[in-house]
Amino acid sequence: MRIVLLLIFSVIFSCKEKANKLHETSSTLKPSALIEAFQYQPNASPWISAHRGGVGLVNYPENCLETIKYVNDSIAAVFEIDVAKTKDGVLVLMHDNTLERTTTGTDKLTNYTFEELQAFNLEDDFGTVTNFKIPKFEDVLKWSKANNAILTIDIKKSVDVAEVIQAIHDYQAEDISVIITYDMEQARKAYQLAPELLLSVSARNQQELDWLLASEIPTQNMMAFTGTKLSDSSLYKKMHKKGIKTMLGTLGNLDKQAEAKGDSLFIKWRKLGIDVFATDRPFEAAKALNIVKNN
């Protein structure tokens, strides 16, 4: 019994030490450059967010560093990525819990160490096997920082947000990192751990916006994800009055509408009040919105 209690106290102490270290690191950091860059400005250019780093691209798989490089070479975009954790605790890019859809492997990601995962190759959305491997999150952070590529980071359930924030701190990648949250509990935790970072927060309706505005999170730390359906333009205007940029997930049905009816729909949605377009069609959206890459 004594041994069990000692183990419990050891785990609790270790967790507290990690949390204290993270809090101390956060409190000494200056605000991310993205907090100012992503404040709403009426005449600012729109942004494209490439879903999963880029999907539906021949020979370029999702959540792949080489795909991010490929898209970044062609258009101005931010990159939404998914962070998961291997059996041995390595943070990697992967959306699914299992490997079958996007790699030559099988079974759950968490059943493999990072070294074991290197036996598998990534596949594109058409089933073509590439030479690319599942990348480490730290390698994506390092490349993105060196190339000023902004990441919006979706954290899978197997990963504690504190681990991702610690990696961002370790590689001094605060100025290119946005943490994605889906509810108030996640948003509050992320803000408490890293008040210097920009957060993507869920504001799909007036109630969710009211919850955010009543929270301790400053509006300057918010970029509002308004869902994958269009809202009334009045909701976007309310966010703009608070200095909050809006993000619309066109991925899925809205992307399909634009593909069928014409990409001028992106311009229409822009006029309604959308600032950032999270899309599976980044090249087409960038062309329609006349977003030019400055090399």
CATH topology of domain 48-178: TIM Barrel (3.20.20)
Selected from 3.30.450.20, 3.30.930.10, 3.40.50.10490, 3.20.20.190, the CATH number assigned to the domain covering 181-290 reads 3.20.20.190
Element (H, E) at 266: helix 264-272
Q: What is the distance between the alpha carbons of residues 292 and 186, in angstroms, rounded to a whole number?
A: 34
SS3 of residue 126 by DSSP: coil
Q: What is the distance between the alpha carbons of residues 174 and 50, in angstroms, rounded to a whole number?
A: 19
Do residues 217 and 240 lie in contact, with contact meaning Cβ atoms separated by under 8 Å? no
Q: What is the distance between the alpha carbons of residues 54 and 93, in angstroms, rounded to a whole number?
A: 13
- Residue range 94-115, pLDDT digits in tens: 999 999 999 999 999 999 999 9
For residue 241, give both structure tokens. Answer: 């009055």
Burial of 122 (0-12, 13-18, 19+ CB in 10 A): buried
Structure confidence at residue 207 (pLDDT): 97
Asked whether the CA dihedral 153, 157, 162, 167 is positive or negative, the reply is negative
Structure confidence at residue 2 (pLDDT): 46
Neighbours of 162 (CB within 10 A): 19
Cα R_g (the chain), whole angstroms: 20
- Residue range 136-188, pLDDT digits in tens: 999 999 999 999 999 999 999 989 999 999 999 999 999 999 999 999 999 99
Q: Which residue has the higher pLDDT, 13 or 279?
A: 279
Across the chain, what does the average pLDDT equal? 93
Burial of 184 (0-12, 13-18, 19+ CB in 10 A): middle
For residue 97, give both structure tokens. Answer: 């819990």
Structure confidence at residue 85 (pLDDT): 98
Ranges for all domains in the chain classified under CATH 3.20.20.190: 48-178, 181-290
